[in-house]
Amino acid sequence: MLGKFFKKPDADQDDRVPPGQYLTKGFPVLTYGQSPSVSADNWQFRVWGKAKEKTFTWAEFMALPQSQFTADFHCVTRWSKLDVQWTGVKVTDLMRLVELDPEAVHVMEHCYGGYTTNLPIEDFLREENFFAHTLFGEPLPAEHGGPLRLVVPHLYAWKSAKWINGLEFLDREESGFWERNGYHRRGEPWAEERYSY
Ligand SMILES: Nc1nc2c(c(=O)[nH]1)N[C@H]1C(S)=C(S)[C@@H](COP(=O)(O)O)O[C@H]1N2
Ligand SMILES: [Mo]
């Protein structure tokens, strides 16, 4: 019934697949609404709210330290993909250049096209989170969020904003698009924090 693209995890991968998830070898595209078309030429990334306002051009962002990442990817619609390989910039490396206000406790991710998703600051500032511009050695395809997306491996992938263009730091929790529309506030896959009802 799952068909040939989705399968139950093998025993050796079992401990890497959260409850209720199925492995896929492809990389499905999950986008709400139209994909925006974004070119690196006039791309801008802005930080504002409970932080000193700052903007980055594409060249400035690419001048940040570059790292390689291998991470598992879990969509709340029950597909998981293991060992996705990315290149990009660690969140902690970007954040060395951002002056946070002491009252910043939450962050809203903003995107070209209008999508938003929110995170508590501790979930955002984790060492393993990154902004990706390369997927399996190729420029990140537009449908997967190119030129730049965020990846937050420890939470369901709706937190991994595609076409990200801004971070709004907040002194309280505010809900992003899916969080307002029935998804869980936090979205931890191992606890199956899928929906808020
Ligand atoms: N801007 C934007 N980012 C987004 C989404 C979206 O609709 N718009 N969908 C989210 C969801 S629900 C998932 S599962 C992942 C899917 O990423 P993919 O399309 O690269 O597989 O992106 C997340 N980031
Ligand atoms: Mo998703």
User: Candidates 108, 155, 162: which one to mutate for ligand 1, based on the most atoms within 8 Å of Cβ?
Assistant: 162
**Nearest Cα residue to atom 23 of ligand 1:** 158
Per-residue pLDDT at 10: 75
Amino acid symbol at 33: G
Report the domain count for the chain. Answer: 1
Q: Tell me how far apart the alpha carbons of residues 121 and 107 are, in angstroms, rounded to a whole number.
A: 6
Which atom number of ligand 1 is nearest to the Cα of residue 113?
1
Check if the beta carbon of residue 88 is closer than 8 Å to that of residue 105: no
Q: Is residue 14, in this structure, part of any structural domain at all?
A: no
Q: Report pLDDT digits (tens) over 106-122.
A: 999 999 999 999 999 99
pLDDT digits (tens, 9 = 90+) for 174-190: 999 999 999 999 999 99
Residue 24, in any domain of the structure: no
* Confidence at residue 197, expressed as pLDDT on a 0 to 100 scale: 72
Rounded to the nearest integer, the mean pLDDT of the chain is 95
Q: What is the CATH number of the domain that holds 89?
A: 3.90.420.10
* Residues in the chain with pLDDT values less than 70: 1-5, 11
CA 178 to ligand 1: nearest atom: 12
> What does each C-alpha distance from 80 to 9, 26, 51, 60, 157 come to in angstroms?
10, 10, 34, 33, 9
- Whether 15 is covered by a domain: the verdict is no
Determine if the pTM surpasses 0.85: yes
Is residue 2 assigned to a domain? no
User: Is 77 a domain residue?
Assistant: yes
Q: Which of 20, 111, 16 lies closest to 73 in space, CA to CA?
A: 16
In a domain, 120, yes or no: yes
Domain hosting 111: range is 42-191
